[in-house]
Amino acid sequence: MNEPSESDTITRNAKSNLAFTLVDLPEDRRRHMAQFYAFCRIIDDIVDEPVMTDPERHTALDRWTQIVTCATTASPGIEDEVQELVREMQLDPAPMLRLIEGCRGDIKQVQPQTRKELLAYAYKVASCVGITAATVMGASSAARDYAIALGYALQLVNILRDVAEDCHKYGRVYLPADDMELFHVTLDDIREQRYTYRMRQLLAYEAALAEKFFGDAEEAYQALSVDDRNALIPAQAMSLIYHTILEKMQADEYRVFERRYSVGNFRKLWFLLRARMGTVEIPFPSLADWSFLKGNDDKKES
């Protein structure tokens, strides 16, 4: 048996929602998506790695800029795999470079003043990921609008869910300053995790923007060809997973300072099936009615 590649190991160890959905892809597409996912994971980790200094982070990101553009010889392992991906699939490196640029901005993060600034950031770190991922999954260029809208939606859910962690652990606040002022929420309210009516209203306001982009993405998806929709089944599963996380936050009145909202593996599998089946609405089975499912990790959801 062949040894797992570095990208396979990174993807498997990450246990992310995206990595989970890749099981639906053909072998070659899955290998390429693992390579792309590993690249995205590494770029994100460079910015968040606590033992690195800021100059070291910039140097590491500069190195990956050279790797993506094939301007330097890759080292064996993940660098070589990413260059292989770019060359084999003849990828446009621009979205990958925008991702690096967006993550670089998090080294010394400046809170966005407006929603326009927030969406400019989300485009770099999420929509650009979607643009390249759609290509790697086998979709045509017609999927670009879908990828952009879904990227916005997923990033906004991440920002809502991770308000406390981003502030406490990394000193970052992604909620626009203008929106915070509109609802009379201060940076100290976030730092001290004050769960107030004004905070709930602010988060609900941002959630409505996420809902808008989920709707835009679904509309764009339904306008695609059958071949493109089939290629994007993992992305549609991601949409279902993250929209469910958003719904859980909404139903729970955004208690993001108390818990981290998630979706368990059993339900993720259900959403992958749902994505395969298209837009057919089938109610999710109640675990309370299925005694043999007791102990499944879906019962551990926040």
In tens, the pLDDT along 93-147 reads 999 999 999 999 999 999 999 999 999 999 999 999 999 999 999 999 999 999 9
- Give the pLDDT of residue 65: 98
Confidence grade of residue 266 (pLDDT, cut at 50, 70, 90): confident
How much is the average pLDDT of 26-33?
Answer: 90
Alpha carbons 296 and 26: distance in angstroms, whole number: 27
Model pLDDT, residue 57: 97
Mean pLDDT confidence for 211-236: 95
pLDDT > 90: what percent of the chain? 76
Q: State yes or no: pLDDT of 275 exceeds 80.
A: yes
Q: What is the percentage of the chain residues whose pLDDT exceeds 70?
A: 88
For residues 16-25, give the mean pLDDT.
70
pLDDT band (50, 70, 90) for residue 2: low
Cα dist. 50→4, 56, 60, 169, 248 in Å? 27, 11, 14, 10, 31
The kind and range of the H/E element at 90 are: none
**Contact status, residue 164 vs residue 193, Cβ threshold 8 Å:** yes
Give pairs for 55-63: CB < 8 Å, separation 24+.
57/104, 57/107, 58/104, 58/107, 61/100, 61/103, 61/104
d(CA 191, CA 114): 20
Question: For the chain, what are the domain ranges?
Answer: 6-263
pLDDT greater than 90 at residue 300: no
Place 43 in a pLDDT band, splitting at 50, 70 and 90: very high
Alpha-carbon span 182 to 30, nearest angstrom: 44
Residue 295, pLDDT above cutoff 60: no
Check residue 20 and give its pLDDT. 66
The answer to whether 102 touches 61, Cβ cutoff 8 Å, is: no
- pLDDT for res 286: 46
DSSP annotation of 296 reads -
pLDDT of 9 higher than 90: no
Which CATH superfamily hosts domain 6-263? Farnesyl Diphosphate Synthase (1.10.600.10)
In contact, 292 and 43? CB cutoff 8 Å: no
* Mean pLDDT of the region 171-193: 98
pLDDT at 19: 67
Q: Mean pLDDT lowest for which of 25-29, 156-160, 271-275, 280-284?
A: 280-284
